[in-house]
């Protein structure tokens, strides 16, 4: 006959093994686009993007970035440049956030009536203010980390932008929402 303590030890081992298999069953990976996502209980997580964004956030220097307020003439000029960028749909641009970086660089985050939200780089001078045509991110980043995805995209498209500026872009939560349905 098996002693009761051995039976309890076996039951404990079986329970621990069942818990391990349960938790392993919750984990998985999925290849999507140009990267891998961690799946935890069916939810997709961009572990790589989250780690890289956290690393950037820890080491970036955003002191030159300043939050601009609506009504500032330079903000209004940058918003007007965005509204004129691809009319008629861009005319409805509603500014959600504007950040200024030295040397005439702006980062605008805006929404529209019929377009996906955008983050755009705007370059301004005393003579003229215009959207940097390569520096436009539009739509959602799901399932990827918004900060990492948008910063990387803009860095690849606008190499002349100050690196510190790109590292300091903090997308609003609206970029982590599902895309709009047409109509």
Please provide the size of the chain in residues: 183
DSSP notation for 128-163? -EEEEEEEEEES--TTS-HHHHHHHHHHHH-TTS-H
The per-residue pLDDT for 24 is: 61
Tell me the per-residue pLDDT of 125-150, one tens digit each, with 9 for 90 and over: 888 999 999 999 998 888 889 999 99
Determine how β-strand 66-68 pairs with β-strand 94-101.
antiparallel
The per-residue pLDDT for 169 is: 96
Residue carrying structure tokens 């601009």: 68
Averaged pLDDT of the chain: 87
- Choose between 69 and 19: higher pLDDT: 69
Whole-model pTM: value is 0.79
Tell me the per-residue pLDDT of 11-63, one tens digit each, with 9 for 90 and over: 777 777 766 766 666 677 788 777 787 888 888 888 888 999 999 999 999 99
Determine how β-strand 43-45 pairs with β-strand 105-111.
unpaired
Asked whether residue 1 carries a pLDDT value surpassing 70, the answer given is: no
Report yes or no: 60 and 147 within 8 Å, Cβ to Cβ: no
Cα(100)–Cα(75) distance, rounded to whole angstroms? Answer: 9
């Amino acid at each position: 006959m098996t002693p009761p303590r051995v039976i309890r030890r076996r039951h404990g081992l079986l329970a621990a093994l069942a818990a391990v298999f349960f938790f392993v069953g919750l984990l998985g990976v999925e290849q999507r686009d140009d990267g891998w996502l961690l799946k935890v209980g069916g939810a997709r997580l961009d572990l790589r993007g989250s780690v890289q964004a956290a690393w950037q956030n820890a080491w970036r220097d955003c002191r030159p970035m300043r939050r601009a307020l609506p009504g500032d003439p330079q903000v209004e000029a940058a918003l007007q440049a965005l509204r004129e960028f691809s009319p008629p749909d861009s005319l409805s641009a509603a500014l959600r956030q504007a950040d200024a970086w030295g040397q005439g660089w702006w980062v605008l985050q805006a929404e529209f009536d019929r377009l996906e939200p955008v983050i755009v780089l705007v370059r301004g001078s005393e003579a003229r203010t215009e959207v940097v045509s390569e520096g436009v991110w539009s739509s959602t980043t799901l399932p990827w980390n918004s900060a990492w995805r948008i910063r990387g995209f803009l860095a690849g498209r606008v190499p002349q932008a100050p690196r510190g500026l790109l590292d300091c872009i903090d997308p609003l939560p609206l970029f982590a929402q599902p895309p709009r349905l047409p109509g």
